Amino acid sequence: MIPLSTTKVQTISWQQQLAQAITDPAELVKILELPQKLASEALQAIPSFSLKVTRDYLSCIEKGEINDPLLRQILPAVEETRQQQGFVHDPVGDMNASPVPGLIHKYHGRVLLITTPACAVHCRYCFRRHYPYQNSSAHRGNFDGALELIARDKTIHEIILSGGDPLTLSDERLKALIRKIEDIEHVSTLRIHSRLPVILPDRITVSLAEMLDQSRLNAVLVIHCNHPNEISEKVSNCFESLRAKNITLLNQSVLLKNINTNANVLIELSHKLFSAGVLPYYLHTLDPVVGASHFYIDDKMAVNLHKTVSEKLPGYLVPKLVREIAGFPFKQDARLLQNSSAN
C-alpha cells in the first residue's frame, strides 16, 4: 500500500487526528487518486449518513483502486439510496430494549451503555446509522439513570460500552464512568466495543491501557476489524501493547459482499489477528439496516464460507457465525437459520 504524504499525523494527538478526519468526498478522491465521479455519487448518499474517515485508515487503502476492500467500507455509494424489502431502520431492536435513555438490555447478565454518538469512521454498513442518539443515549455524561437501574439488578455482571464508539471519549471521561461502574459490587466485567484501534491506533494511549489494567473489573476489548489489510504494523503494535497490559482482546467482523466474502481473506484475517494477540470472536451476518443492502450475502454463501474457514483453521481461530435478530434474548447461530429476513 502507498502511504499518504501526511508528515504530522504521527506526532499530533489522537484528538487532533480525529478532528482532521476526512468528511468531504472531493478531498477523499483527491487523496486516493480516484475518479471524480465517485465524489459526485457519494454526495447522493451523504444526506442520510455522512462521510467520515481518519487519515490513518486512508493510508491502508491502495491509491487508484476503486474496488479496494477498505475503500468500499467507508465511501458513500449511490446504492445506499435504494430501498430494499426487509431492510429497516432498527434491525436489531435496540429501541424496544431500552428501559432508560442510554441503556440497552437484551441479554441475561449483561447490559449495553450507549456512551456517545461519535465515531472516528462512518462505516457504510453500520446498523446504528439511523439510531436517534439525540433522544436515546446518555452521551451528555449523565449515566445516573442507567447505572441506578444496573445497581438494582444483581443479575447483571457485565457492562458493555458502545456507541458510537466509546473510545472517542477522553481518558478522563472514561475513567469517571469506569469508577462509577466499579462502585456497583455485582458487576465484574467491563467490555468495550471499538473500531478505534484499527481506525485511529494512536487513541490507545499509555494512560488508557493502564486505566483498564488497574481496574478491578475484568477488561475485555472487542475490536471491529473486517479485513486483513486493516491490520497495519501500527495497528498490530497497538494490539500488542494492549495485550501487554493483560487486556483480553477479541475481534468481531461483519460479512460484507465483495469485501471479505472470500474464505482466504477470512483465514488471513484470523491469522493476522492472532499474531497480534487478538482472538477471532464473532463473524456476523449483515444486519439488515436501510442503506446497506448492497453488502448483503445470502445464508447459503455465509454458511459455506464459514464451513471452508472451519476446515482450514484450528478451532480457536474460527469465529462463531452469528446473526442478531430483534426481540431474541441471545445471538443466533447463523448456521442453523434457514432463511434471512432480507430474502
pLDDT at 7 over 80: no
Answer for the pair 280, 251: CB distance below 8 angstroms, yes or no. Answer: yes
Determine what percent of the chain is predicted with pLDDT higher than 90.
86
Last-in-domain residue among 81, 111, 128 = 81
Residue 298: what pLDDT? 95
pLDDT band at 82 (very low <50, low <70, confident <90, very high): very high
pLDDT at 140 over 70: no
Q: How far apart are CA 146 and CA 163, in angstroms?
A: 15
DSSP for residue 22: B
Question: Is residue 9 in a domain?
Answer: no
Residue 139: what pLDDT? 52
Grid cell 502507498 is found at 2
Residue 141: what pLDDT? 60
As for how many domains the chain has, the answer is: 2
Residue 341: what pLDDT? 42
Q: How far apart are CA 87 and CA 305, in angstroms?
A: 23
Do 65 and 121 fall within a single domain? no
Question: Is residue 165 in a domain?
Answer: yes
pLDDT at 218 over 80: yes
pLDDT band at 135 (very low <50, low <70, confident <90, very high): confident
pLDDT band at 162 (very low <50, low <70, confident <90, very high): very high
The three cell numbers locating residue 79: 446504492
pLDDT at 3 over 60: no
Do 176 and 270 fall within a single domain? yes
Question: Is residue 247 in a domain?
Answer: yes
Question: Is residue 257 in a domain?
Answer: yes
Do 131 and 238 fall within a single domain? yes
Do 297 and 220 fall within a single domain? yes
Question: Is residue 70 in a domain?
Answer: yes
Do 310 and 200 fall within a single domain? yes
Domain CATH for 244: 3.20.20.70
Last-in-domain residue among 58, 81, 104 = 81
pLDDT at 203 over 90: yes
113 has which bridge partners?
103, 161
User: What mean pLDDT do residues 23-45 have?
Assistant: 97
3-state secondary structure of 321: strand
pLDDT at 2 over 90: no
Question: Is residue 107 in a domain?
Answer: yes
pLDDT band at 328 (very low <50, low <70, confident <90, very high): confident
pLDDT at 10 over 60: no
3-state secondary structure of 178: helix
pLDDT at 207 over 50: yes
Which strands make up the sheet holding 218-224, listed edge to edge?
103-104, 110-114, 158-162, 189-194, 218-224, 248-254, 279-284, 320-323, 332-333
Residue 142: what pLDDT? 75
Question: Is residue 232 in a domain?
Answer: yes
Q: How far apart are CA 213 and CA 305, in angstroms?
A: 36
Residue 280 belongs to domain spanning: 95-336
Do 60 and 161 fall within a single domain? no
Pairing of strands 320-323, 332-333: antiparallel
Do 77 and 137 fall within a single domain? no
Q: How far apart are CA 235 and CA 322, in angstroms?
A: 26
Question: Is residue 86 in a domain?
Answer: no
Q: What is the DSSP string of 108-159?
A: TTEEEEE--S--SS--TT-TTTT--HHHH--TTS--HHHHHHHHH-TT--EE
Last-in-domain residue among 34, 59, 81 = 81
Do 76 and 183 fall within a single domain? no
User: What mean pLDDT do residues 176-195 have?
Assistant: 98
User: What mean pLDDT do residues 138-160 have?
Assistant: 88
Do 66 and 112 fall within a single domain? no
Residue 85: what pLDDT? 94
Do 48 and 100 fall within a single domain? no
Answer for the pair 258, 77: CB distance below 8 angstroms, yes or no. Answer: no
pLDDT at 6 over 70: no
pLDDT at 75 over 70: yes
Do 101 and 65 fall within a single domain? no
Lowest mean pLDDT among 118-122, 143-147, 222-226: 143-147
User: What mean pLDDT do residues 267-293 have?
Assistant: 97
Do 110 and 242 fall within a single domain? yes
